[in-house]
Structure 1
Amino acid sequence: MSEAESEGDGEQRPGRQEIWIEKYRPQTLDEVAGHEDITARLRSYIERNDLPNLLFSGPAGVGKTTSATAIAKELYGDDWEQNFLELNASDQRGIDVVRDRIKNFARSSFGGYDYRIIFLDEADSLTSDAQSALRRTMEQFSSNTRFILSCNYSSKIIDPIQSRCATFRFGPLDEAAIAEQVRIVAEAEGIETTEEGVDALVYAADGDMRKAINALQAAAVMGETVDEDAVFSITSTARPEEIEEMVRRALDGDFAKARSILDDLLSNKGMAGGDIIDQLHRSVWEFDLDDEAAVRLMDRVGEVDYRITEGANERVQLEALLASLSLEDE
């Protein structure tokens, strides 16, 4: 029993103390959702015992780390932890981690397997010097070590490393894969969900399985039934119809009403300006706007996103966006 389960007063509901994203993390490549083409290619490497260096790129929560650990578990079985070194490059960015920890692991003796695996998460955070050192290390220990690099942007990985890896690009997970996994977890935990609640989890996740499962666990604490109200509240996500109404009010020239909706999202629902911009961006083509209005909105969204990223005041920029849409209607 974990400390979290053993501490506390009173009776605790089973399963609520464990982090569900770890409890239900896939253990094999067959269990990885939404990337059947990628897992099939990875499985063929394992079956031939011919694993190359790998480069996984894509957004957060789509299965990159899970796929790396699943490879190790299928190759080494119960010995996988002794033959698998995981490092997070965002925490250990310097050249020393490449020269010391990686080299020490690659040099250490082991038996029964042709090679060990070093998994370097967030490799695009490595400095250029560290990447150059990593390239030399990959060459030096190519006979007994395989590297799996994970990153959000493969363009930040130097070409000499990319050329030494088989590259796999993980896209955002489709809605069906996330909805299916949400239902599986909810059923296993004895949590009742509504169809609207599942749809809200899928919408809030935006292709990120980890975000969906975390939101499910958080919403489950609020009550016995996970519905859309609980999901939107716990994730600080605006309902799609709220975003759409705000935009339509602005396009119709009703700036005061559009600004009131924006103020409710920022002040009462606690949303960040960047999150509103993200929802606007992904929802523009779902608003059934005419092409001219959609293009105009997308142009303004891009401009405001850049200004907020550069440090401008979020509220001022979002109100300016709505004002520009209202004025152009006149």
Structure 2
Amino acid sequence: MTDAQHDTKTLLDPAVERFIEKNRLPHMLFYGPPGTGKTSTVLAMARKLYGPQYKKMTLEVGNHIHAIWLTVFMQLTQHAPSYAYQLNASDDRGIDVVREQIKTFASSRDLFSKPGSFKLIILDEADAMTTAAQGALRRVIEQYTRNVRFCIICNYVNKIIPAIQSRCTRFRFSPLETDQVKKRLDYVVANEDCKITPEGMTALLKLTKGDMRRALSVLQACHAAYSDDGNGRIDEEAVYNCTGNPRPADVRSMVHSMMKDEFTTAYNNVSAMKLAKGMALADLITGVFDELDAVDFSPEGRIFLLDHLAHTEHRLSTGGSEKIQLTALVGAVQIAVALSQKKGKK
């Protein structure tokens, strides 16, 4: 049941383990940030439910012009099959996918199924479904509870209607701890003959923020780009080059200019460096936030700056001009400095 890639004992929550052992699996709602193991957990659960043969019985079917990929897992027991049906709900957000595909699968019953056996329907990225589709799904959940269990996976639980939330046992997936991500990255580095410096590993862990999927993707990109370059080692520079994030040294230089130089000079310096380095202002705001701990601001100045960073980021996300928002950022930093100096004189 356990191998080097999928350890069901570590993936499955103890509560889920007990549900499986007692054959009393409820409808479940897995939610949390991307790359935290939601889909891996439910696949480990399906593996434990249906045994080691489910991989051999995997069937992928394309449907409609959207090429919806449906994965059906079957375990052939001595007398009867069990089923798990996986659907990426964001591929088709409308009500038809519930009425035509999910309802058809849920309503079909096997003549030789054991008493108490059930099918498993996995809905990934369910927060992309329309409200009407979720309403139809709620009725399907009610109607076929006797022989079907639903596992609904999403990033934003607030986008799932309350009627579905109340019918599911909820499991929140938090960002992975740094030690957990590092352990898996160390395993991959050792097995793929990948060379990475301690500084490169630190940068990788910092930038991916507990997202295992992104950490592995960035590591793969760095390995592909730098494996034949010189000594083939992935360092901090390589990680920042592959991710496109602003380097801490560049951010510190910009923050220093915004704090110490006159407004026009600071704006011109930051604008020129931003253009030369190809930075997005949203990434610069994140970098400024990360550097705040190293800057000596008074509580009033820090609160003011954090509030304005949030407003500037929001305005950018709604289509605001980068030039205007950069002006606002420089002004906010200089006002925060003035507030801190004023507090220090009292």
Given the superposition, is the C-alpha separation of residues 313 and 93 from structure 1 closer, same or farther in structure 2, using an over 3 Å criterion? Answer: same
Which residue of structure 2 aligns with residue 299 of structure 1? 307
Given the superposition, is the C-alpha separation of residues 157 and 311 from structure 1 closer, same or farther in structure 2, using an over 3 Å criterion? Answer: same
The one-letter code sitting in structure 1 at the alignment partner of 2:190 is: E
Match 1:186 to one of 186, 189, 192: 189
> Larger C-alpha radius of gyration, 1 or 2?
2
Given the superposition, is the C-alpha separation of residues 219 and 94 from structure 1 closer, same or farther in structure 2, using an over 3 Å criterion? Answer: same
Given the superposition, is the C-alpha separation of residues 47 and 318 from structure 1 closer, same or farther in structure 2, using an over 3 Å criterion? Answer: farther
Given the superposition, is the C-alpha separation of residues 328 and 205 from structure 1 closer, same or farther in structure 2, using an over 3 Å criterion? Answer: closer
1:225, CA displacement in angstroms? 1.2
The one-letter code sitting in structure 2 at the alignment partner of 1:275 is: D
CA distance in 2, matches of 1:44, 1:283: 45
The one-letter code sitting in structure 1 at the alignment partner of 2:106 is: A
Match 1:290 to one of 280, 285, 298: 298
Matched, 1:230 2:253: no
Which residue of structure 1 aligns with residue 273 of structure 2? 264
Which residue of structure 1 aligns with residue 98 of structure 2? 98
Matched, 1:322 2:330: yes
Matched, 1:60 2:63: no
Which residue of structure 2 aligns with residue 79 of structure 1? 54
1:308, CA displacement in angstroms? 0.8
1:175, CA displacement in angstroms? 1.5
Structure 1, unaligned runs of 5 or more: 1-23, 33-37
2:301 touches 2:336 (CA, 8 Å); kept in 1?
A: no
1:118, CA displacement in angstroms? 1.1
Match 1:153 to one of 142, 150, 156: 156
- Deviations 1:96-133 (Å, cap 9, x if unpaired)? 11111101211234446811211111211111111110
Counterpart secondary structure, 2:106: helix
1:159, CA displacement in angstroms? 1.1
1:118 touches 1:146 (CA, 8 Å); kept in 2?
A: yes
The one-letter code sitting in structure 2 at the alignment partner of 1:132 is: G
Given the superposition, is the C-alpha separation of residues 280 and 45 from structure 1 closer, same or farther in structure 2, using an over 3 Å criterion? Answer: farther
CA distance in 2, matches of 1:26, 1:85: 22
1:69, CA displacement in angstroms? 1.0
Q: TM-score, normalised by structure 2?
A: 0.79
Matched, 1:165 2:144: no
Matched, 1:43 2:17: yes
1:70, CA displacement in angstroms? 1.1
- Deviations 1:39-98 (Å, cap 9, x if unpaired)? 222222222222111111111111111111111111112236232222222221100111
Given the superposition, is the C-alpha separation of residues 282 and 141 from structure 1 closer, same or farther in structure 2, using an over 3 Å criterion? Answer: farther
Task: Give the number of equivalent residue pairs.
Answer: 301
1:172, CA displacement in angstroms? 1.4
CA distance in 1, matches of 2:137, 2:294: 45
2:266 touches 2:330 (CA, 8 Å); kept in 1?
A: no
The one-letter code sitting in structure 1 at the alignment partner of 2:54 is: D
The one-letter code sitting in structure 2 at the alignment partner of 1:125 is: A
1:246, CA displacement in angstroms? 2.4
CA distance in 1, matches of 2:314, 2:278: 21
CA distance in 2, matches of 1:73, 1:119: 13
1:236 touches 1:269 (CA, 8 Å); kept in 2?
A: no
1:239, CA displacement in angstroms? 2.5
Counterpart secondary structure, 1:90: helix
**How much is the aligned-residue C-alpha RMSD, in angstroms?**
2.4
- Deviations 1:172-194 (Å, cap 9, x if unpaired)? 11211112211111111011111
2:89 touches 2:128 (CA, 8 Å); kept in 1?
A: yes
Which residue of structure 2 aligns with residue 120 of structure 1? 123
1:253 touches 1:326 (CA, 8 Å); kept in 2?
A: no
The one-letter code sitting in structure 2 at the alignment partner of 1:143 is: R
The one-letter code sitting in structure 1 at the alignment partner of 2:239 is: V
Q: Give % identity.
A: 37
1:27 touches 1:70 (CA, 8 Å); kept in 2?
A: yes
CA distance in 1, matches of 2:294, 2:16: 36
CA distance in 2, matches of 1:42, 1:107: 25
Structure 2, unaligned runs of 5 or more: 56-72, 75-82, 339-346
The one-letter code sitting in structure 2 at the alignment partner of 1:105 is: F
CA distance in 1, matches of 2:9, 2:252: 39
